[in-house]
Amino acid sequence: MTGLTHVTLSGTAYECGVIHGETFVDEIQQNISVYLDKFAYHGVDKQTTREQASDLLPRIQEWNPEYAEELRGIAEGSGISVIEIALLNVRYEVLYAAYSDGSLGVDGCTSFGLLPEVTADHHTYVGQNWDWAEPIANTLIVTEVHRDNVPNHLAVTEAGIVGGKMGINEHGIGLVVNGLVSPNDGDDPFRKPFHVRCREVLEAERFDTALKPLVASLHACSSNFVLGHADGEIIDVEASPNGPGYVYPRNGVHTHANHFANNGFESCMERQLPDTLYRARRLRQALEQHSGDIDPATIKSALSDHFGRPASFCRHIDKNKHPQKRTQTDTSVIIDLTERTLCATYGPPCETTYNTYQLGGAA
């Protein structure tokens, strides 16, 4: 496998889901299997997980009826039960609630944003190394969504999950994300799920309406969202069950890892992943030293850094860890908001090349 498979989803929300489900049956089944094992390892049995997904499904219908329709379409197209597809779509809430005791954290992810004044071509960029369980690299796909009445967008998602986490829409709004953990994660699981919010960001026409789904209601679990706009704007929203915090670029550069940079929240991920404390700072340093002349080659080189390997931001499997706690960079993503292009790798960026996906047709 050399790159992530690109698929165009068009028609109604339901029809988009059907195409998604029909195209990626095997990947969706693999994804469900990987997550059920992971949930079980973290003390959440299958029955509890299915009940949580079942309870959340009617609420997703209320919060975002079209998301629920697309989810049902994936079930129809793949021939897999709607509860299991719902389970994938709330997998962030299931796992991160289990992490909130501070003992189970497994993640990674180092993200960035670059304003036009620091880039060689004066474009605005966002991107990240997305670090997660190794088998999930095989279920990552690039969906290009062309639905009536919502902006077209291109995003990396996991097969079976409607909302892409790293993406760009036709209005130049882009998104990348990081996992965060704080003590009240999961106390109230019946809040709008992470992946639904990601989809709503990429369906926004303006930057203020892209921010709204992240800040207008409290989150079930903590997470970080880096939003960018092609016209030269970047805002980082650190969400938690107690409310959002904000971080803005400094000297045209923004970076973020897996701990809260805003002082208002108790941050838990670094207790298990202390490497988060150097990853964002180190990426900032690698980018800032080329300020005014940063191009995609500079970014790719920065994202391949191995300081602290395997706990580097080009992340590699740590064989000393339990298999369920091992992570690697499953994909490295660079989004040129000005050009509406998304470049992504399959696996750690030091070992592979970036494929370019252009909104409006694969390059």
Give the interface with Zn ion as residue ranges (CB under 5 A).
314, 348, 350
Q: How far is the CB of 350 from Zn ion (least distance, A)?
A: 3
CB 298 within 8 A of CB 349: no
Is the Cβ of residue 87 or residue 136 nearer to Zn ion in the bound state? 136
Is the Cβ of residue 105 or residue 348 nearer to Zn ion in the bound state? 348
Is the Cβ of residue 6 or residue 316 nearer to Zn ion in the bound state? 316
Is the Cβ of residue 7 or residue 314 nearer to Zn ion in the bound state? 314
Q: How far is the CB of 357 from Zn ion (least distance, A)?
A: 22
Tokens of 8: 């165009």
Strand-pair partners of 144: 8, 154
Is the Cβ of residue 299 or residue 359 nearer to Zn ion in the bound state? 299
Q: How far is the CB of 37 from Zn ion (least distance, A)?
A: 26
Is the Cβ of residue 152 or residue 304 nearer to Zn ion in the bound state? 304
Q: How far is the CB of 321 from Zn ion (least distance, A)?
A: 17
Q: For the chain, what's the residue count?
A: 363
Q: How far is the CB of 256 from Zn ion (least distance, A)?
A: 20
Residue 160 carries which DSSP code?
T
CB 168 within 8 A of CB 359: yes
Q: How far is the CB of 36 from Zn ion (least distance, A)?
A: 29
The per-residue DSSP string of 60-116 comes to: HHHH-HHHHHHHHHHHHHHT--HHHHHHHHTHHHHHHHHHTTTT------EEEEE-G
Indicate the residue type of 186.
G
Task: Return phi, psi of residue 275, to 5°.
Answer: -60, -20
Q: How far is the CB of 1 from Zn ion (least distance, A)?
A: 17
Which residue carries 């580097």 as its tokens?
A: 312
Indicate the residue type of 161.
I
Q: How far is the CB of 345 from Zn ion (least distance, A)?
A: 10
Q: How far is the CB of 347 from Zn ion (least distance, A)?
A: 9
- Cα angle vertex 148, ends 144, 153, to 5°? 25
Is the Cβ of residue 216 or residue 317 nearer to Zn ion in the bound state? 317
Tokens of 18: 């059907």
Is the Cβ of residue 315 or residue 340 nearer to Zn ion in the bound state? 315
Radius of gyration of the chain (CA): 18
Is the Cβ of residue 240 or residue 276 nearer to Zn ion in the bound state? 276
Q: How far apart are CA 103 and CA 95, in angstroms?
A: 12
Is the Cβ of residue 8 or residue 352 nearer to Zn ion in the bound state? 352
Q: How far is the CB of 286 from Zn ion (least distance, A)?
A: 14
The per-residue DSSP string of 10-38 comes to: EESHHHHHHHHHHHTHHHHHHHHHHHHHH
Q: How far apart are CA 176 and CA 128, in angstroms?
A: 7
CA neighbours within 13 Å on the CB side: how many for 87? Answer: 24
HEC profile for 279-309? HHHHHHHHHHCCCCCECHHHHHHHHCCCCCC
Which residue carries 């992530």 as its tokens?
A: 4
Chain-centroid distance of CA 134 in Å reads 15
